[in-house]
């Protein structure tokens, strides 16, 4: 056995101050797990504050402090969860703490402790996504807090102590079709930028790519304009398209951080408003927007290659105008 094969000595017997002085994050994370397991919130807050102080002394323990805030938002009593939704840790945790706290606490539990401001409002949006809309919500995102009748049951994440699970909405398998001639590409910057922006976190903070086009033609000819001869396509409803767009915009892909369900829903509303020419009337009347969206024909498509990660491939056509749009967004693991 070489010295490289000898495991390092365990530091778990050391006290929290000793571990902080050594600047050892891994055993401190295990200590956080133990404190959370016995719901010792005051012990976790003390550990977090000690880590913040150590950061000022040059110790690289900010990740431990942020993890404490994440665990408080997820698991602690409502007053303590509400106290961290504004934390800077939201920039570095598995998701925004407004969403994390909203996954495990009701609005009535959190509301008495949430300070007035944007974070409180975003928590209200997150609770509305979970069937718990606040009666006194402030529509800070300029879309209704409560879901409209035509909206889906959005795909929501499941936060765990060490990970987040965010499966995409289910779509029925399609059929392989010959796409025919590509549509003539036209300029529609507002709409194509809104569609590509759905995958902004994938492209800006991970390995993702996103391409959106507008054409004169059908959904199939829009997909063909990407350079494909064949594709698997399945027609979907407006609510399914909204769920897929919101899932894309709310997630981080392979390496980015989640933006949250409220942010994803807003991005889906904006994309729909662009597709239906409602941006000049922003914020739009919800029922009119839903009715206009239902008149479009929506498709989920695949390029026939096995998926290796995250994908959002939507095509949509307007039978009345003869225009169509396509989004091809993907992020590899």
pLDDT digits (tens, 9 = 90+) for 297-321: 999 999 988 777 899 999 999 999 9
Q: What is the pLDDT of residues 183-197, one digit of tens each?
A: 999 999 999 999 999
Q: Where are the alpha helices (DSSP H) in 23-146?
A: 25-37, 41-56, 62-75, 78-83, 97-104, 107-110, 118-129
Per the CB < 8 A criterion, the answer to whether 281 and 155 are in contact is no
Same domain, 68 and 194: no
Q: What is the mean pLDDT of residues 123-130?
A: 98
- The rounded distance, in Å, linking the Cα atoms of 247 and 2 is 49
Residue where a domain terminates, one of 48, 76, 104? 76
Residue 181 has pLDDT above 60, yes or no: yes
Residue 20 inside a domain? The answer is: yes
Same domain, 212 and 317: yes
Residue 86 inside a domain? The answer is: no
Residue 1 has pLDDT above 60, yes or no: no
Residue 19 inside a domain? The answer is: yes
Total count of domains within the chain: 2
Residue 199 inside a domain? The answer is: yes
Who has greater pLDDT, 136 or 289? 289
- The rounded distance, in Å, linking the Cα atoms of 181 and 14 is 69
Same domain, 322 and 211: yes
Residue 56: burial class (beta carbons within 10 Å; 0-12, 13-18, 19+): exposed
Indicate the pTM of the whole model.
0.94
Residue 148 inside a domain? The answer is: no
Residue 125 inside a domain? The answer is: no
Q: What is the mean pLDDT of residues 216-244?
A: 98
For residue 10, give every residue at least 6 positions away whose Cβ sits within 8 Å of its Cβ, in sequence order, or none.
27
User: How far apart, in Å, are the Cα atoms of 115 and each of 111, 119, 245, 277?
Assistant: 8, 8, 31, 37
Domain range for 31: 1-76
Same domain, 181 and 291: yes
Residue where a domain terminates, one of 57, 76, 95? 76
Residue 271 inside a domain? The answer is: yes
For residue 135, give every residue at least 6 positions away whose Cβ sits within 8 Å of its Cβ, in sequence order, or none.
none
* pLDDT value at residue 145: 97
Determine the 3-state secondary structure of 88 from DSSP: helix
* pLDDT value at residue 13: 81
Q: What is the pLDDT of residues 81-112, one digit of tens each?
A: 999 999 988 888 999 999 999 999 999 999 99
Residue where a domain terminates, one of 76, 103, 134? 76
Residue 128 inside a domain? The answer is: no
Read off φ and ψ for residue 177, nearest 5 degrees: -130, 150
Residue 2 has pLDDT above 70, yes or no: no
**What percentage of the chain carries pLDDT values higher than 90?**
90
- Cis geometry, peptide bond prior to residue 283 (ω within 30 degrees of 0): yes
């Amino acid at each position: 056995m070489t010295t490289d094969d000898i495991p390092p000595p365990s530091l778990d017997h050391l006290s929290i101050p000793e571990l902080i002085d050594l600047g050892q994050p891994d055993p401190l994370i295990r200590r956080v797990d133990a404190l959370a397991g016995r719901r010792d919130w005051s012990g976790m807050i003390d550990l977090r504050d000690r880590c913040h102080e150590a950061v000022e002394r040059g110790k690289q323990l900010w990740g431990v402090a942020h993890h404490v805030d994440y665990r408080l938002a997820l698991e602690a009593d409502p007053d303590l969860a509400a106290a961290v939704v504004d934390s800077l840790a939201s920039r570095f945790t598995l998701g925004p703490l407004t969403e994390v706290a909203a996954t495990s606490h009701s609005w009535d539990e959190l509301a008495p402790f949430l300070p007035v401001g944007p974070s409180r409002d975003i928590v209200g949006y997150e609770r509305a996504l979970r069937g718990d809309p606040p009666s006194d919500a402030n529509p800070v995102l300029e879309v209704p807090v409560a879901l409209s009748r035509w909206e889906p049951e959005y795909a929501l994440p499941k936060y765990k102590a060490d990970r987040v699970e965010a499966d995409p909405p289910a779509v029925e398998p399609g059929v392989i079709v010959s796409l025919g001639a590509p549509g003539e590409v036209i300029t529609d910057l507002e709409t194509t930028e809104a569609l590509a922006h759905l995958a902004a976190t994938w492209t800006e903070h991970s390995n993702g790519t996103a391409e959106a086009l507008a054409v004169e033609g059908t959904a199939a000819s829009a997909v063909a304009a990407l350079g494909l001869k064949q594709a698997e396509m399945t027609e979907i409803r407006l609510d399914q398209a909204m769920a897929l767009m919101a899932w894309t915009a709310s997630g981080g892909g392979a390496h980015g951080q989640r933006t949250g369900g409220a942010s994803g829903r807003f991005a889906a509303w904006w994309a729909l408003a662009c597709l239906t020419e409602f941006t000049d009337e922003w914020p739009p009347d919800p029922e009119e927007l839903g009715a206009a969206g239902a008149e479009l024909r929506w498709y989920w498509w695949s390029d026939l290659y096995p998926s290796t990660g995250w994908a959002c491939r939507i095509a949509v056509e307007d039978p009345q105008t003869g225009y169509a749009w396509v989004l091809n967004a993907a992020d590899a693991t």
